[in-house]
Every structure is written in structure tokens, then in C-alpha cells.
Structure 1
Amino acid sequence: MDHEKVNILLVDDQPAKLLAYEVILKELGENLVIASSGREALELLLKTEIAVILVDVCMPELDGFELAAMIREHPRFQKTAMIFISAIQVSDIDRLRGYEMGAVDYVPVPVVPEVLRAKIKVFAELYRKTRELERLNQELEDRVRARTAELENSTARLRESEQRRSMAIAAGKMGSWDWDWITGDWMWDEGQYRIFGVGPESFEVNPANVQALLHPDDVDQLRKAIAEFNKGARAYETEFRILRPDGEVRWCVGTAAATVDDSSRVVRVSGVTVDITERKRAEERQNLLAREVDHRAKNALALAQSIVRLTRADEVKDYVNAVEGRINALARVHTILSLSSWQGAELSRLIDEELAPYSLGGQIILAGPEVQLLPATAQTLALALHELFTNSAKYGALSTRSGRLTIGWQVKDQVLTLSWEESGGPLVMTPKSRGFGTRSLLASVESQLGGQALFDWRAEGLLCRLEVPLIRKTAATTASGKFEEASAAELQRASG
């Protein structure tokens, strides 16, 4: 599919090596920008938008570490991906230094073309996706601003209409009132009683009773309005809250105008009250949505970056497949959650999505009730199930036609117990060490969800048992928006 080309900066003091990198990376179809020194690279960065920097560690005058430090000092390039190429054996201390300077990876010499292309491609695509997310965020902000302007215009038109009592009554959420400044008598129309949640048969309109219906934090607004009219003001407008007798809080905007006698003394104040509760709630929902979309986009990107950086494989193809598999698993559960407006996901739906590529004519048996999962729980289990299915398809029951897999689950005392039982596949041996998938599964289920992941490497097939609380008591996990940040941290711990 056609896509916007991104710029890849190649930095090396040796023309022959630069030419070799050009030949290797040419088939990616991206724009290759050449710099023969660190200083030239800095000049190009200031003039050009760069997605990935490929830099030689050993260069005269300004080596790769020094160049990386200078690049990271500039606000524009603090998140630019940098890959170091080293022709000498790199020590752990040098690697640590490089990562501290902002490097995302090392490539040793001699360079394996397929490996270099794969690494550059991953970060180029990540850069493209990041820009796409930024554009989407900008579009959302533009829509919010447009909606805000629309609301402001609507409010202005509403204020004009509030001056007419007949329109206030017809609207249903408006009310009008008169206050005789001399005698203290009040008059409310039907709309005013409706807004305050009282009736003329049981409510006497006087300053004390009206003040009792105002929110305690907004009582000063009434006092301020009276003071303004006593100082000679002719009009006053404010927003305030009321506490109805049934306990409901409503937002209102009030507009008042004074009538004066020949000596400019206030004799009457008339006004209109408009119930704007729904508008306030809509604004709150809109602001919350904007913040939530921005938060989820950034955190999803952080989780994807962690997956890319921490996945390990001996072969380029295996590396690409592993990264794509884990990110696709995350994307599938995000789709399910978005369809429910991030209210949750059905466990059976998650399992169906993950087993779709492995439906092999009755090899898989599912048994369990309908269980609604919170967003954080759903995302963690989706990644855990992906690892289990992937391992089974490579080494376990799903790698042969004779293999069988039974997945069962039940809920007791708000704890979900999911059992994974394989049989009929190749002979199973207990692994000498845990791979990244197993370690990330354990870290996310146990540390993130407060559950347990138990493995029994039986000869006839793997038996895995996941126990996950459906209700978390800690603030970090009850807010689903915090999940992606915590998950990225857990993946980093798992990789160690």
C-alpha cells in the first residue's frame, strides 16, 4: 500500500560504508539522507524531519555517543530512534552508555542486510504511525474547538432569547421571575418552579427559601448580585448550581435586569433562569473523551514500543512474526473494547479472536460461562492467550493434527480460573529457562492483575492454570487508562 516516505539519516565518515548502507536500505522505498560527519548530521537534522538515525559509533572529531548526546539535548529529537553500528566488540558498559544516550538498538559489523532492513523498517513504520496518531489527535482537538465555538454561539443565542418570557416558558427548561425590590415580593412562573424541583403549593418564594436551594458554594453569587444592583448595576449574569429537595444537583445560568424609577433607584429586578445541566454534562463528557483518546493513544504507542524493543528472536523472520503477533493481539482486544466504548469485553469473545487462526476441525474445546472483563483485565488476558496459542502452535498440541486443546473457565468469589490443557501433541519437556512470552505472561498476570499463573509441563501436554481477580482494590488497576503504562513497565521487567 502506498504510504508517505520518511527520511532515514545515515551517518558515517567512510563513503564506502555509506554506499553499502544505501544499497541495503534502498528497497525499503524510504528517503535516504547522507551525512559524512557528526557536524553535518546535526546541520541536516535542523533542516529535515528525520524518522530514524543510523550512526557509526567510531568517527573522528565527534563519535556516535557524543552525537547522540547532542541530538537528545534538542527538544525536537528527544524521541527520534537512533541505531548504532559498531565495527568493534561492544562491551556491556558501552551498550548501557549508548542506551542512556538514546539508542534503541545496536547493529554489529559485518552488517547482515536482512537484519538491518528489518530493524529500520520497524522504526520507520513506528515513526509513521506516531505521526498518524498526532494527526488524529490534532483533528480531534480541532473538532473539540469547533464544538466549543458552537456551544459558545449557542449560548449567545440562548441569552438573547432568555430576555423573552414567552420563549422561556415554551422551552420547558427555562423559567422567569420578578422580585419587587421595595416590598420584597417574589413571583415565579411555572418554568422556574420546575427547574428548582418545587411546587407553588408547598414552596414559599422568599430570599431565605431560595438561598436554601442554592449550592452552598454558590450562595455568594446571590449576595454579589444584590450588592451589584445596590451599587447601580442594571444587569447581572452568572452560572450557579441548585440543590433540589430530592438531592439532585442542577446547573443553571441566570440573567437579571433592574428597573429603576425617576431617581435611578432600583424598584424591581426581573430575570430568566435556564437549566444548562445537560450542556455541562456534554462538555464534561467531551473533555473527558479528548483526554482519554490522547491518553490511550500515547499509552498504546508506549506498549507497542516496549514490545518492539524487548522481543527477541534468532532469525529476522521470527522476530518480525513475534512483534506482529503481539501487536495484532493488542489491536484485536482494542477493537473489542472500542465496540463497548471501553466498558469491558466478554472472555469468550477474546478467546474466539485469538483462536481464529487455529480452528482445526474440532481440535479445540471451549467450556465456560459468559464473563465480562474489565478493560485492563481483558488486555492482559488477550496478550497471555496469544502467547499460549503461539507456543502451542509452534511446539505443543496445535502443532500436529492429533493434538487436542481444552480451555475451560469458571468464576467463584469474583476470581476467574482459566485452565489450559493440551494433549495428543509432541512429547513435552520442562524448559530449562523461560522465554520472553512466558516471563511477560507471568509478570502481567501476577504483578499487573494480582493473579497467579501456574505451569505443569506434563509429558502428554502442557497444563496451565490462570487465576485472575475480576475486581481489583488498588487505584492503579481500577483505572483502565493506567494499564498500558504499567504493562510496558512489566514487559521491561519480564525481559530481564
Structure 2
Amino acid sequence: MDHEKVNILLVDDQPAKLLAYEVILKDLGENLVIASSGRDALEVLLKTEIAVILVDVCMPELDGFELAAMIREHPRFQKTAMIFISAIQVSDIDRLRGYEMGAVDYVPVPVVPEVLRAKIKVFAELYRKTRELERLNQELEDRVRARTAELENSTAKLRESEERRSMAIAAGKMGSWDWDWINGDWMWDEGQYRIFGVTPETFSVSSANIQALLHPDDVDQFRAAIAAFNTGARAYEGEFRISRPDGEVRWCVGTAAATVDPSGRVVRVSGVTVDITERKRAEERQNLLAREVDHRAKNALALAQSIVRLTRADSVKTYVNAVEGRINALARVHTILSLSSWQGAELSKLIEEELAPYSLGGQIRLAGPEVQLAPATAQTLALALHELFTNSAKYGALSTRAGRLTIGWQTENDVLSLSWEESGGPLVRTPKSRGFGTRSLLASIESQLGGQAKFDWRAEGLLCRLEVPLTRKATTSTSPAKFEAASSGELQRASG
């Protein structure tokens, strides 16, 4: 798939090593930028957007640690990924020092090309996704600004055009009024009564009664406007809220202009009121959406980083495939949730999305009612289902044409019970230790959702039962910190 190339900075004082790194990383298809010293690297960074920095620890004049410290001091580069290359045995103290300086990984010499490419690829892709999300946020902000400008322009035209004013009055969005400053008499038109939610038969227009309909926080603004006209002001404009008799609060923008006698004394004040409640609500929705997009983007990236750090594999290819599979599973559920405006996801849709990569004919049977999952539950359960499908495709019933898989689910007392039953595949033996997939599945179901996951390694096929509460108040999305802490704990217990 075509994608925008990112810049990878290679820093080393030895030309031969720089050439070797170029050869190793050429197949990634990214832009490789060369710097033969720490000072050259700093000049490049000031002129170019860099996704990943590959830097030699041992360099004359300015070594890797010192360069990393200088880079991190600049606010622009505080989150730039740095990978150290060291030709000498690095002690734990040096390693900790490197991480404190901002390194995200170490690569020992001699460099294994596949390992270096895999590490660079992961961080380059994370950088690319981050930039894409930033562009989406910027586009959203631009649309909000454009919409706000459009509404302000519309309001100005309503004030200037009598014809548009009449149309707005007919639609109940605009009203006009007149106030005799000398004797205190008020005159409202039909639109003004409609905006305030009252009728001429039930409401007597007076300063006191109008003030009673104003939102308590905006009463002082009304008094300040009166005081301003008394001290020589000739015009006023401001936003305010009204509390209708039925309890509904509406946002309005009001404009007023004074008429004076030959001596300069105010004798009349006339004005227009425009109901801008829908505009205010639209602005609130846009602001909420912008914050939600930012929150979910950060959460998704953090979860992806957790997956990268916690995945274990015997080879680079297996590692890359495992990471890509888990991130793709996360991307699929994000797509489903986005289509529902993050209201939730159907369980059957999650399962169908995980089935999509496989051509299995009639090997799989699904049975269960429609179940709507909350976003947090959907994200966690999607990752758990991905691990089950991946394991079955590698070692279980889905690894052979004779294998069969039955997935059934039901709900009772707001608890989802899901059974995963395999048969007809290779002979199953109880594993001596849990793999990462099993550990992460247990950690996510039990720690994230407060549920249970039970495995029965029968000879004829795996039987797995998941029980997940549907009404538990989980976090707004899958929590990377919880997922990583729980999975790391499983890894430590397994290795201990």
C-alpha cells in the first residue's frame, strides 16, 4: 500500500557503518538522512521532520548520550524515537542512562539486519499514524472554525437584511423589541415572545419580568447594559441565556441601539434578539468530538506501543506478523466503533470481522442473539477473539479442513457467556506453559472487564468459556496501562 515516506536519521562518524545501515534499511522504502557527527545531526533536526533517529553511542566530540540529551531538551523532539547502536558491551547503568536520555531501544553490533529493519519499521509506522491523526484533528478544527465563521456571517446578515429578519421571525428564531426609556413601556413582536417561551396573554412585558426570565448568571450583564446607556452608550451587543417558564434554557444574542433627543438624552432603545441555541449546541458537539478524537488517538497509540513491547516471538518474521495481527484486530474494532459514532458494536460483527481473513467454508458455526457491546468491552473482546482465532489457525481446528469450530453466546442477568468449542483438528495436548496470546487474553478479560476465561484442553479440541459483565463501568476505551501491567505480570509469573 502506498504511503507517505518518513525521514529516518542515521548518525555515525564512520562512513562504512552508515553505508551498511543504508543498505539494511533501503527496502523499507523510507527517506534515509545521513549525519556523520552529533552536530550535523542537530542541524538536520532543525531543518527536517524526523520520525526515527538511529545513533551510534560512541562518537568523538559529541557522543550518543550527549546528543540524546540535547535533542530531548528541545520541545519539538521530546517524543522523537531514538535507537542507540553500540559496538561495545553496554552495562545496565549505561543502558538505564540511555533510556533516561530518551532512547527507546538498543541494537548491539554486529547488527542483525532483520532485527534492525523490524524495529525501525514499527517506530516509522507509529510516527506515520501519529501524523495522520494530527492531520485529522487539524481538519476537524478547521471545519469547526469554518462553521463558526459561517454562523457569525449568517447572524450579521440577519441583522442587516429586513427580508431575512422577517423569515427568521416566521421560523421562530428572531424577535424584535422596543423600549420607551422615558415611561418604561415595552413592545415585543411575535418572535420575541416565541424565543422567551411566553405568550402576550400570559406574560406582561416589563423590566422586572424580563429580568426574571434571564439566567441568574446573566442578570448582571442586563443591568450593566442599562447602566451603559445611562452613561452615554449608543449601542450594545452580547450573548445571554434565558430560562423559559418550562425550564428550558436557550442561548440568544441581542443587539440594541439607542435613540436620543437633541440634547443627547436617551429616549428610546430598540433591539433584535436572535436564538442561537442550535449554534451553541453544535459548537459544544464539535468541541466534544475534537476532545474525543484526541483522547482516542492517544489511547490507541499507547495500546499499540504496549502490544509492541509485550509481544514475544522466536523470530523477527513471527514477531512482525504477531504485532501486525494484533494491531489490525484493534484497527478493525475501531472501524466498527467509528461507524456507530462510538456508541458500541455488535458481537456478531466483531466475530465476522475476525473471520474475514480466513476462507473456511462451512467449518465455523455461529449461534447467539444480537448483543450490543460498549466500546471498552468491544475493544477488549476483539483482541481476545483475535488471539483465539490466531491460535486455532496455527495449531487447532482451523489449521485443517476437517476441523470444526462452534462459537455460541447468550446473555443472562447482564452477563455475556461465550463458548468456543473446537473439534476435528489435530490432537490437543495441554500446554506446559501459557503463550503470550493466552496470557493477554486472560489479563484483558479478567483485569479489564472483571470477567472470567476458562480453558479446557480436550484431546478432541480446545473448549474455552468466557464470561463478561455487560454493565460494569469500564474505562472509556481499552486501558493500555492496565493491559500492559496485567500482561507483564503474567509474563513475570511464567518466567519465574
Instruction: State how far apart, in whole Å, the 2-side matches of 1:155 and 1:292 are.
Output: 29
Preserved CA contact (<8 Å) 1:39 1:62: yes
Query: Residues 351-403 of structure 1, C-alpha deviation per residue, up to 9 Å, x if partnerless?
Result: 11111223422221111110111112111111111111111111122112222
Q: CA deviation at 1:346?
A: 0.7
SS in 1 for 2:254: strand
Q: Structure 1 residues 268 and 74 mapped into 2: Cα distance closer, same or farther (>3 Å)?
A: closer
Instruction: State how far apart, in whole Å, the 2-side matches of 1:74 and 1:437 are.
Output: 39
Preserved CA contact (<8 Å) 2:440 2:487: no
Q: CA deviation at 1:21?
A: 2.0
Q: Structure 1 residues 164 and 121 mapped into 2: Cα distance closer, same or farther (>3 Å)?
A: closer
Query: Residues 69-110 of structure 1, C-alpha deviation per residue, up to 9 Å, x if partnerless?
Result: 332222222222222223344455544443333222232333
Q: Structure 1 residues 458 and 101 mapped into 2: Cα distance closer, same or farther (>3 Å)?
A: farther
Instruction: State how far apart, in whole Å, the 2-side matches of 1:491 and 1:283 are.
Output: 47
Q: CA deviation at 1:168?
A: 5.3
Preserved CA contact (<8 Å) 1:440 1:491: no
Instruction: State how far apart, in whole Å, the 1-side matches of 2:482 and 2:199 are.
Output: 47
Preserved CA contact (<8 Å) 2:250 2:275: yes
Instruction: State how far apart, in whole Å, the 2-side matches of 1:478 and 1:45 are.
Output: 35
Instruction: State how far apart, in whole Å, the 2-side matches of 1:334 and 1:159 are.
Output: 45
Instruction: State how far apart, in whole Å, the 2-side matches of 1:265 and 1:164 are.
Output: 32
2:275 alignment counterpart:
275
Instruction: State how far apart, in whole Å, the 1-side matches of 2:40 and 2:478 are.
Output: 50
Instruction: State how far apart, in whole Å, the 2-side matches of 1:15 and 1:229 are.
Output: 78
Preserved CA contact (<8 Å) 1:440 1:495: no
Query: Residues 428-454 of structure 1, C-alpha deviation per residue, up to 9 Å, x if partnerless?
Result: 333333322222222222222232223
Instruction: State how far apart, in whole Å, the 2-side matches of 1:447 and 1:17 are.
Output: 46
After TM superposition, the structure 1 stretch with the greater mean CA deviation from structure 2, 439-448 or 399-408, is 439-448
After TM superposition, the structure 1 stretch with the greater mean CA deviation from structure 2, 87-96 or 462-471, is 87-96
Preserved CA contact (<8 Å) 2:363 2:403: yes
Preserved CA contact (<8 Å) 2:443 2:483: no
Preserved CA contact (<8 Å) 2:158 2:164: no
SS in 2 for 1:54: strand
Instruction: State how far apart, in whole Å, the 2-side matches of 1:91 and 1:71 are.
Output: 23
Q: Structure 1 residues 474 and 18 mapped into 2: Cα distance closer, same or farther (>3 Å)?
A: closer
Instruction: State how far apart, in whole Å, the 2-side matches of 1:29 and 1:210 are.
Output: 69
Preserved CA contact (<8 Å) 2:443 2:486: no
Matched, 1:207 2:199: no
Query: Residues 297-354 of structure 1, C-alpha deviation per residue, up to 9 Å, x if partnerless?
Result: 3332232233233322121221121111111111111111111111111111111111
Q: CA deviation at 1:155?
A: 2.5
TM-score (norm 1): 0.89
Instruction: State how far apart, in whole Å, the 2-side matches of 1:160 and 1:348 are.
Output: 56
Q: Percent identity?
A: 91
1:182 alignment counterpart:
182
Q: Structure 1 residues 9 and 481 mapped into 2: Cα distance closer, same or farther (>3 Å)?
A: closer
Q: CA deviation at 1:240?
A: 1.1
Q: Structure 1 residues 6 and 233 mapped into 2: Cα distance closer, same or farther (>3 Å)?
A: closer
Q: CA deviation at 1:276?
A: 0.9
SS in 1 for 2:456: strand
Preserved CA contact (<8 Å) 1:28 1:121: yes
Instruction: State how far apart, in whole Å, the 1-side matches of 2:340 and 2:73 are.
Output: 42
Q: Structure 1 residues 154 and 97 mapped into 2: Cα distance closer, same or farther (>3 Å)?
A: same
After TM superposition, the structure 1 stretch with the greater mean CA deviation from structure 2, 124-133 or 156-165, is 156-165
Q: Structure 1 residues 196 and 424 mapped into 2: Cα distance closer, same or farther (>3 Å)?
A: same
SS in 2 for 1:478: coil
1:162 alignment counterpart:
162
Preserved CA contact (<8 Å) 1:448 1:477: no
Preserved CA contact (<8 Å) 2:177 2:187: yes
Preserved CA contact (<8 Å) 2:57 2:84: yes
Q: CA deviation at 1:247?
A: 1.4
Instruction: Mark the runs of 5 or more structure 1 residues left unpaired by the alignment.
Output: none
1:19 alignment counterpart:
19
After TM superposition, the structure 1 stretch with the greater mean CA deviation from structure 2, 183-192 or 2-11, is 2-11
Instruction: State how far apart, in whole Å, the 1-side matches of 2:42 and 2:320 are.
Output: 31
Q: Structure 1 residues 400 and 475 mapped into 2: Cα distance closer, same or farther (>3 Å)?
A: closer
After TM superposition, the structure 1 stretch with the greater mean CA deviation from structure 2, 232-241 or 469-478, is 469-478
After TM superposition, the structure 1 stretch with the greater mean CA deviation from structure 2, 390-399 or 219-228, is 219-228
Instruction: State how far apart, in whole Å, the 1-side matches of 2:107 and 2:254 are.
Output: 68
Q: Structure 1 residues 345 and 481 mapped into 2: Cα distance closer, same or farther (>3 Å)?
A: farther
What is the 5 A alignment of 1:262-411?
262-411=262-411
Q: Structure 1 residues 246 and 33 mapped into 2: Cα distance closer, same or farther (>3 Å)?
A: same
SS in 2 for 1:58: coil
Instruction: State how far apart, in whole Å, the 2-side matches of 1:24 and 1:274 are.
Output: 66
SS in 2 for 1:142: helix
Preserved CA contact (<8 Å) 1:8 1:53: yes
Root-mean-square deviation over aligned CA pairs: 3.4
After TM superposition, the structure 1 stretch with the greater mean CA deviation from structure 2, 391-400 or 285-294, is 285-294
Q: CA deviation at 1:16?
A: 3.1
Preserved CA contact (<8 Å) 1:295 1:481: no
Instruction: State how far apart, in whole Å, the 2-side matches of 1:282 and 1:443 are.
Output: 40
TM-score (norm 2): 0.89
Preserved CA contact (<8 Å) 1:444 1:490: no
Instruction: State how far apart, in whole Å, the 1-side matches of 2:477 and 2:22 are.
Output: 47
Q: Structure 1 residues 261 and 42 mapped into 2: Cα distance closer, same or farther (>3 Å)?
A: closer
Preserved CA contact (<8 Å) 1:347 1:370: yes
Instruction: State how far apart, in whole Å, the 2-side matches of 1:120 and 1:165 are.
Output: 61
Preserved CA contact (<8 Å) 2:384 2:441: yes
SS in 2 for 1:357: coil
Q: Structure 1 residues 107 and 442 mapped into 2: Cα distance closer, same or farther (>3 Å)?
A: same
Q: CA deviation at 1:415?
A: 1.9
After TM superposition, the structure 1 stretch with the greater mean CA deviation from structure 2, 17-26 or 405-414, is 17-26
Q: Structure 1 residues 488 and 74 mapped into 2: Cα distance closer, same or farther (>3 Å)?
A: farther
- Kindly tell me the number of residue pairs found equivalent between the two proteins: 496
Preserved CA contact (<8 Å) 1:6 1:51: yes
